[in-house]
Amino acid sequence: MNRYFTPFILGISLMLLPALLKAENQAVIYKIDIKKEIDNTTWLYLNNGMAEARLLDADAILVHMNTYGGQVDMADSMRTAILYSPIPVYVFIDNNAASAGALISIAAKKIFMRKGANIGAATVVNQTGAAMPDKYQSYMRSMIRSTAEAHGKDTIIQGRDTLFKWVRDPLIAEAMVDDRVVVPNLIDSGKVLTFTSEEAMRWGYCDGIAESTDDVITQYLGYSDYKLKSYTPSWLDNVKGFLMGPVIQSLLILVIIGGIYFELQTPGIGFPSAAAIIAAILYFAPLYLDGLAENWEILVFIIGVLLVAAEIFIIPGFGVAGISGIILVIGGLTMSLLNNSGFHFEEVTVPEFGQATLTVLMGLGLSFALMLWLSSKIGSKGLFRNVALTTDLEEAVSVSVPHELIGKEGKAATVLRPSGKVWIDGEMHDGVSESGFIEKGTPVKVIRFENAQVYVQACVSKSHLY
C-alpha cells in the first residue's frame, strides 16, 4: 500500500507547491489610519504602526488620511518619520489633508486621492483660526518647502536638451502656507492654495485617483496578491496620547507644583503631596514608555524637588539650594518632553523645543496663579466657603484661642515655615508665621487669630518664662 500512497502524496505536494510559493512571496501592505486631528495620539499611531511594519518586514506602508490638521510640532515629527522610513510610505487621501495633514502627505513617496478630496491650506493658525505671526509662517514655509524638495527632480530628455523638473514643486508647497506666494498660471497673491484631486494630478501633487485602498494597492502600487495588515490602536495608545497633550501636561505641572507648595505650607504629609506624586507619575509615565523621558531627566526633576524641600525644611532662608532646585525641576520637566538621545539634542527641532518650553512655562504660570488665588480664597470667604468649616471653627476659636491672646508673647515650639506650633501662656497652639521662616525657640507675638490658628510674628521679648 505504501508504494501507491507515497507517489500520491508526492503528486499532491507538487500541485500545492506553486500555491505555497505564492503565499510565501505574498506582499505585505501595512495600513495606518490617520483620521482625526494631528496630535500626540495620531503621532503614536504612526510611530507604533511603522515600528510594527518593520517587524513584519512589510513591503509598503499606506497611510489612510482624512484630517483637517492639528499641531505643527507633531506634524513635523510625523513627516520626518515618513521621509526617512526604510519602508516606502504612500498616502491615500480619503477626503481631506488640510494644514498639518498636507505637510505629512507631501512627505510620502506618492500621494493618491479620492475623487472630491482636497489637499492644502497649510497656514499656521491659533485656536481661534486666526493666522499666526509671520515668524511661525516662515518656519512652516521652510518646512513644507524642504519636504517637497526632498523628493528631488525628474530628468526629462527633450531632443538634445536635458531638463530637470521638481517631482513636487517647492513653490507650490509654499503657496499652501503663504497667501503672498504667486505661482504663475496657478494662483495669484492674496489666496492660500488648496488643490482638488484633479488639480493636484495636473500639478504633480497627486500620483493617482482611486476610490479605495484596494484600488491604490492593486492599480498603482502593482501588488495583485497581497496581505493587508492594519494598525489597531490600543486603549493605552489613546490614554498616553491624551496625557501627552500640551494642555493636559500643563495641568499636571500645575498639580505637581501646587501640591509641593501647599504641602510645604502645612505640617505632616497629606493630600497635596499625594496629588503631586500622582500628577508626576501621570506626567512622566507616558513619556518614559515612549522613550522621550530618560532616567537621568526624571532623576534631575527628583533632585530638584529634594533641593527645594531641603532649602525650606533644613536651610533657613532661600539661597543656592532653592534656586538650583527650581532650575532642575523646570529643566527635568522640559527635557522630558524633548526627543533627545542622552545628552545629545541635535535632533530636537525648534518647534519641539518651543512647544516643550511653552508647555512647562504655561503649567508653572497657572500653578503660581492658582497658589495666589487659593491662598486668598480658602477660609471664610470665596470659592471654598462651603467646604471650610467656618462657623464651627470660629466657635472653637472663641474657646481655644480667646481674644485675650492677641498681643501676647510666646515662643515657637517648632519651626514655622510658615505653619507649625507655638507656646502661648503655657498652652500649645497651631501657629502661622506672618513674618516668614521662624526658627524653633524664637520669641513670637500673637497679632491675630483665624480658623483655629494664631497668626504670629517674630519679636524680641525682654523676658520669657520658658
* Residue carrying C-alpha cell 508647555: 359
| Domain annotation covers residue 5 | no
In whole angstroms, how large is the CA radius of gyration of the chain?
33
Please state, as a whole number, how many other Cβ atoms lie within 10 Å of the Cβ of residue 43: 23
Q: Is residue 392 part of a domain?
A: yes
160 and 208 fall within a common domain: yes
Q: Which letter, b or e, does each residue of 224-258 get, where b requires 16 or more Cβ atoms within 10 Å of its Cβ?
A: eebeebebebeeebeebbebbbbebbbbbbbbbbb
Distance (Å, whole) CA 395 – CA 145: 72
Who has greater pLDDT, 52 or 371? 52
- Is the domain of 218 the same as that of 276? no
Per-residue confidence band for 66, with pLDDT thresholds at 50, 70 and 90:
very high
Q: Residue 448 belongs to a domain with what CATH number? A: 2.40.50.140
Predicted structure pTM score: 0.66
Residue whose C-alpha cell reads 502661622 in the numeric block: 432
Per-residue pLDDT tens for 261-286? 777 666 556 677 788 888 888 888 88
Closest CA to 50 of 19, 23, 86: 86
Same domain? For 244 and 336 the reply is yes
264: left (phi over 0), alpha (psi -120 to 50) or beta: alpha
Let me know whether 340 and 412 are in one domain.
Answer: no
Confidence of residue 9 (pLDDT cuts 50, 70, 90): low
C-alpha to C-alpha distance for 264 and 311, rounded to whole angstroms: 11
Whether 257 is covered by a domain: the verdict is yes
356 and 289 fall within a common domain: yes
pLDDT at 324 over 90: no
Quick one: cell of 38?
A: 494631528
* Alpha carbon distances (Å) from 465 to 377, 409, 443: 38, 11, 11
Residue 34: the pLDDT is 95
> Is residue 432 included in any domain, yes or no?
yes
Q: Are residues 123 and 89 in the same domain?
A: yes
441 has a pLDDT exceeding 90: no
Residue 323 lies in a domain: yes
Q: What is the predicted pLDDT for the residue at 131? A: 81
| Top-confidence residue, 259 or 380 | 259
Query: What average pLDDT score do residues 91-111 get?
Result: 95
**Residue 91 C-alpha from the chain's centroid:** 25
What is the rounded CA–CA span in Å between residue 323 and residue 357?
A: 19
Which residue range forms the structural domain that includes residue 452?
A: 388-458
Residues present in the chain in total: 466
CA distance linking residue 401 with residue 397, whole number of Å:
5
> Residue 324 falls within a domain, yes or no?
yes
Identify the CATH number of the domain in which residue 160 sits: 3.90.226.10
Quick one: pLDDT at residue 266? 61
Query: What is the total count of domains within the chain?
Result: 3
pLDDT score of 381 more than 50: no
- Same domain? For 246 and 358 the reply is yes
Domain boundary among 377, 398, 433: 377
The pLDDT assigned to 464 comes to 44
Q: Of 377, 403, 428, which closes a domain? A: 377
Alpha-carbon gap, residue 466 to 413, rounded angstroms: 10
Q: Burial code of 335-374, b = ≥16 C-beta within 10 A, e = fewer?
A: bbbbbbeeeeeeebbebbbebbeebbebbbebbeebbeee
Whether the CA torsion 406, 411, 416, 419 is positive or negative: it is negative
If we measure between CA atoms, which residue out of 432, 438, 439, 434 comes closest to residue 454?
Answer: 432
Over residues 147-195, the pLDDT tens digits come to: 999 999 887 777 777 778 899 999 999 999 998 899 988 988 778 999 9
Query: DSSP string of 96-142?
Result: EEETHHHHHHHHSSEEEE-TT-EEE----B-TTSPBPPHHHHHHHHH
458 beta partners: 444
Indicate the Cα dihedral angle 342, 345, 348, 351, nearest 10°.
120
420's enclosing H/E stretch is: strand 419-424
Q: Are residues 71 and 41 in the same domain?
A: yes
Residue ending a domain, choose from 233, 257, 272: 233
% of residues, the chain, pLDDT over 70 = 82
Count CB-CB contacts under 10 A for residue 319: 10
Preceding omega of 418 cis (within 30 degrees of 0):
yes
Which pLDDT does position 445 carry in this prediction? 87
- Residue 463 domain-assigned? no
Q: Are residues 324 and 415 in the same domain?
A: no
Domain co-membership, 164 together with 260: no
Provide the grid cell at 144: 513644507
CA separation for the pair 198, 209 (Å, rounded): 8
The pLDDT confidence band at residue 314, using thresholds 50, 70 and 90, is low
Return the pLDDT at 72. Answer: 86
Same domain, 212 and 361: no
Are residues 185 and 56 located together in one domain of the fold?
yes
Q: Is residue 1 part of a domain?
A: no
Mark out the alpha helices in 203-294 (DSSP H runs): 213-215, 235-243, 246-265, 271-289
